[in-house]
Chain A
Amino acid sequence: MYALREAIAAFRRAPVLTGLSSAMVGLALFVVGLFSLAAHNLELALAAIEERVEVVVYLRDDARQSEIDLLLEELSRFEEVRLVTYVSKRDALERARSELPEFGELFMDAEVNPLPQSLEVEIRSGESSLEVVSRIAESAEGYPFVEDSQYGREWVDRLFALRRIGFASTAVLGGAFGLVAALIIGAALRIAIFARREEILVMRLVGATSGFILRPFLLEGALAGLGGALIAWAITYGTYRGVYAYLFEIAWVPGWWVGVGLLAGGLFGAISSGFAIRRHLREV
């Protein structure tokens, strides 16, 4: 009760400084929020792409039917595989003619069918990770009559790399802004400590516990952090609405991410003030 009363009183005593602390935490968490929004949408895009991922195994022209059947059976045994379809050279040509009408004449005039026979491997929903499709493709490539296998590795690799860059940028920029915010919270608390040094001195003299002395400052830091997190949430949500309305459709982050962000803001504020006050209490 005392701690809460003192923490609120501290806000009243120095509203500008406390507001500045909150704003800096808000800015730090806004960067994290923005990147989280991007990472979440990238994640959704990846999931959608993964859903459509299939492995195509191209077979040599001289592959015997018995060998093809054997491979088809082998690939069907993978738990993650939903369906394996054999596409003959003729079927491939038919499909090319219907799907690529601009090359129709080329396919009509060809004396020899240039397209290879293949096995198309469809992956079960939710199982098409990079690791799974690589494993299936590598397994097929072990057969001598397999010419090649493809699953859009470059695109998948690029998307995964993009996601890693997103996370790294979030961590680095969030960390840098976080450090600045911690310094500002520290400065605000040092001023608060200075303003209350007489009280702190008396508290120490008469036997108040360290926890009792620390609590109002920790709470003040936590409130500043929570305020910052709310600011970050508001700006990130505003940005999301703006992008959604004027640029392109994106998804909002899951609710529990927001919860974690608010909690992180509060914790961040409390920890920053904890560091600041421990050092300065020794000097009072």
Chain B
Amino acid sequence: MIRLNHVTKDYPKRGRALDDVSFHLRKGEFAFLTGHSGSGKSTTLRLIHMADRPTDGEVRVSGFSSATLSERELWKLRRRVGMVFQDFRLLPGRTALENVAFVLEVTGTPRKVIQPKAQRLLSQVGLGPKAGAMVHELSGGEQQRVAIARALANDPYVLLADEPTGNLDDRATRGVMDLLWDINAKGMAVLMATHDLEVLRRHSTARVFELDQGRLVYDSAPSTEAS
């Protein structure tokens, strides 16, 4: 599903963000990527989403390799990997339904399918009744649910979440976490970056990768396969 082979990432100003990181996230797994701020969590997710390419090593995601995937074909990967962010990144001035429908429209979903599918996705994340609400009218937790519904629009294999509960209160955090587990229960792999120890404690059955200063220092269920 997702495999990092001796991945190193250097930035010109910031220096080394990841240092020889290797791991393998299997199909249908739920894993946390944890560590202090600046430990390389977001960099790892960016590399998996191929917003950046490794300086050294290789990232493989569902058959796509960072070494060979061209910018021109990046869209193929992006449709297989859903992504949610701490700051939601929803389109302001649009309803929840329009935000989800927008993704379907720009990725070439047939017109007839767009509205019913967007509505179904919002119902899946528990926002069916609020589909017509403008995003600024929704609470933080609800906005994150819209973002998750949007990330699921293309039926991805894996969902990447970069601190999705970072801006949420405890109740909203629980709701979003329950939702992510529901999604994972249907077979989708989830890789979530978080530094929230309370979240890690509550979901102790999940696999955990810990990063420290760009190095992978802990893997709760290391793969026996040779990388």
Partner-B contacts on A (CB < 8 A): 2, 198-199, 201-210, 212-213
Chain B nearest CB, measured from A198 CB (Å): 6
Question: B36-72 toward A: CB 8 Å interface, digit per residue (1/0)?
Answer: 0000000000000100000000000000000000011
Instruction: Write out the residue numbers on chain A whose beta carbons fall within 8 Å of the beta carbon of B112.
Output: none
CB <8 Å contact, B107 and A208: yes
Give the shortest distance, in Å, between B193 (CB) and chain A (any CB): 16
Q: Within the complex, what minimum Cβ distance (angstroms) separates A10 from chain B?
A: 16
Complex Cα distance, B151 from A202, in Å, reads 10
Docked-complex contact A202 and B92, CB < 8 angstroms: no
**B residues near A, CB below 8 A?**
49, 71-72, 74-79, 83, 89, 91-92, 102-103, 105-108, 150-151, 153-154
Q: By DSSP majority rule, is chain A's interface helix, strand, loop, or mixed?
A: helix
Question: What number of A-B contacts does a CB cutoff of 8 Å give?
Answer: 47
| Pairwise interchain contact A202-B107, C-beta atoms closer than 8 A | no
In the complex, what's the smallest C-beta–C-beta distance from A261 to chain B, in angstroms?
34
Q: Which of the residues A198, A207, A210 comes within 8 Å of B107, measured between beta carbons?
A: A207
A183 to B153, CA, bound (A): 38
Cβ contact within 8 Å between A205 and B91: no
Q: In whole Å, how far is A47's beta carbon from the nearest beta carbon of chain B?
A: 51
A266→B154 CA distance, assembly (Å): 35
Residues of B within 8 A of A213 (CB): 106
A/B interface sample: 16 pairs, CB < 8 A: A198-B89, A198-B91, A199-B102, A204-B78, A205-B83, A205-B89, A206-B78, A206-B103, A206-B106, A206-B107, A206-B150, A206-B153, A210-B71, A210-B72, A210-B75, A212-B106
Please state if B89 and A208 are interface contacts (CB–CB under 8 Å).
no
Contact of B75 (CB < 8 Å), options: A201, A202, A207: A207
Evaluate whether A205 and B78 lie within 8 angstroms (CB atoms) in the complex, with A198-B89, A198-B92 already known: yes
| A207 & B91 in contact (Cβ 8 Å cutoff) | no
Whether A209 and B75, one on each chain, are in contact in the complex, defined by CB atoms closer than 8 angstroms, is yes
Are A199 and B76 in contact, with the CB atoms below 8 A? no
Q: How far is the CB of B107 from chain A (nearest CB, A)?
A: 6
